[in-house]
């Protein structure tokens, strides 16, 4: 109906004023893009809301397991009892990254930007989460005493994590540069050229294809985070792994508390 109306009212004008052709084509393209865009935004929005709810549920369960681990550690529980709780927490992390992967398919920007996190957490995020290398640096001083073999293992893990992070960061920089070049390339040229509309839409399609690789970068970053946690567990003893998981939880808990305090601070 709308297409017909625009087409009828503009048929004569296009003959007399060719420059109107480009404007009308863009208008029609905008109508169709807006319609499909609203649907995709709705789907993405639903995915983001679902993930936020799943994350809140996950964090609540995670805190319960952390409290259980803390109580067991304070009670000097045996290694077998500690190992069961440590393994359950590691399984939780695996579930968390699976949830992130599902959410990224619906709305990768929501996951990457950290809108599901507190402002302070978002400030220190890297590719939708924590930097494995930085986390290992924070833990190093809290896991002593370490054997020489363990120390070597942690140092090697930190170094390999740093190298992988650098590679992913460089890949993201290359993507940003490539996307900028794609969006800046070409010109509209003479008004009224239908070829320019096709060129514009082709340009946008190419840019969309490049954005599609964001999900892959996020997946690789999350795989690195999970593998670092798993490798750390293999290097450490059960009791050291328990201390490491408690330290990680305490760090992020304090970061969330800091964010709340900052937002609630008195303003003059």
How many structural domains compose the chain? 1
Residue 2 in any domain: the answer is no
CA gap 243, 141 in Å, rounded: 11
Residue 234 in any domain: the answer is yes
Residue 86 in any domain: the answer is yes
Residue range 141-196, pLDDT digits in tens: 888 899 999 999 999 999 999 999 999 999 999 999 999 999 888 655 444 456 67
Residue 105 in any domain: the answer is yes
- Residue in 179, 214, 211 with CA at minimum distance from that of residue 101: 214
Q: What is the pTM of this model?
A: 0.80
- Residue in 157, 209, 161, 214 with CA at minimum distance from that of residue 183: 209
CA gap 78, 65 in Å, rounded: 17
Q: Which of 16-20, 44-48, 64-68, 189-193 has the highest mean pLDDT?
A: 64-68
Give the domain extent around 203.
34-263
Least confident range of 3-7, 46-50, 124-128, 177-181: 3-7
Please work out, in degrees rounded to the nearest 5, the angle formed at the alpha carbon of residue 210 by the alpha carbons of 120 and 223. Answer: 50
Residue 209 has pLDDT above 80, yes or no: yes
Residue 64 in any domain: the answer is yes
Q: pLDDT grade, residue 226 (50/70/90)?
A: very high
Tokens coding 236: 């450490």
Residue 116 in any domain: the answer is yes
Residue 232 in any domain: the answer is yes
Residue 100 has pLDDT above 80, yes or no: yes
């Amino acid at each position: 109906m709308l297409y017909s109306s625009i087409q009828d009212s503009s048929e004569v004008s296009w003959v007399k004023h060719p420059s109107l052709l480009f404007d009308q084509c863009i208008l029609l393209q905008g109508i169709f893009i807006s319609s499909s865009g609203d649907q995709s935004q709705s789907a993405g929005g639903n995915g983001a809301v679902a993930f936020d709810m799943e994350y809140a549920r996950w964090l609540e369960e995670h805190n319960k397991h952390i409290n259980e681990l803390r109580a067991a550690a304070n009670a000097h529980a045996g290694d077998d009892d500690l190992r069961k709780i440590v393994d359950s927490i590691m399984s939780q992390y695996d579930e968390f990254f699976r949830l992130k992967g599902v959410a990224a398919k619906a709305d990768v920007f929501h996951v990457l930007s950290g809108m599901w996190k507190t402002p302070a957490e978002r400030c220190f995020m890297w590719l939708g989460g924590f930097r494995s290398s930085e986390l290992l640096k924070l833990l190093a001083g809290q896991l002593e005493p370490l054997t020489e073999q363990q120390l070597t293992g942690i140092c090697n893990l930190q170094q390999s994590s740093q190298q992988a992070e650098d590679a992913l960061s460089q890949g993201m920089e290359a993507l940003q540069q490539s996307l900028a070049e794609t969006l800046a390339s070409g010109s509209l040229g003479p008004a009224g050229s239908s070829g320019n509309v096709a060129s514009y839409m082709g340009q946008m399609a190419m840019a969309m294809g490049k954005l599609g690789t964001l999900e892959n970068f996020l997946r690789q970053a999350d795989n690195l985070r999970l593998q670092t946690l798993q490798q750390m567990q293999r290097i450490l003893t059960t009791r050291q792994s328990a201390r490491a998981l408690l330290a990680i939880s305490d760090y992020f808990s304090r970061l969330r508390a800091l964010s709340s305090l900052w937002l609630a601070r008195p303003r003059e």
